[in-house]
Amino acid sequence: MSVDTGTPPVGLFTGRHVLAELEGVDPELLDDEQFLRETLHDALSQSHATVCQMIAKRFEPQGVTVLALLSESHASLHTYPEDGSIFIDVFTCGHTAEPERAVQVLAAALKPAAQHVRTIHRGRDYAELAS
């Protein structure tokens, strides 16, 4: 016998992959590892994603990569301070987390002059469970 709890089952083979490029960002922000770690963590929390672990690498003479392992999948930032640009990648499985929201929070903190964001739907369509 199964019990209907009203929530979608865990482990659905479905997800949204948000890819973003932000340009015209303050180079100092793009080279600040601590700021990027904290901002990514905050953005993921606000989007209902569960951060398991976060690592970062600051490159010489500039640039930072931040990776977040999520219960729902992963997120990454790759910065190019010399160009004022950043690549953002947020992939979440299931319907609980909101990867688009994470990118919106990051963009609000980074204040780019221009942004290009697209969402790719992956896996199977379980849309009826999300409503």
Residue 128 burial (10 A CB sphere; 0-12, 13-18, 19+)? exposed
Catalytic residue annotation: 73, 78, 93
| Short-list 73, 88, 85, 82, CA closest to 119 | 88
> Is 58 within 8 Å of 45 (Cβ atoms)?
no
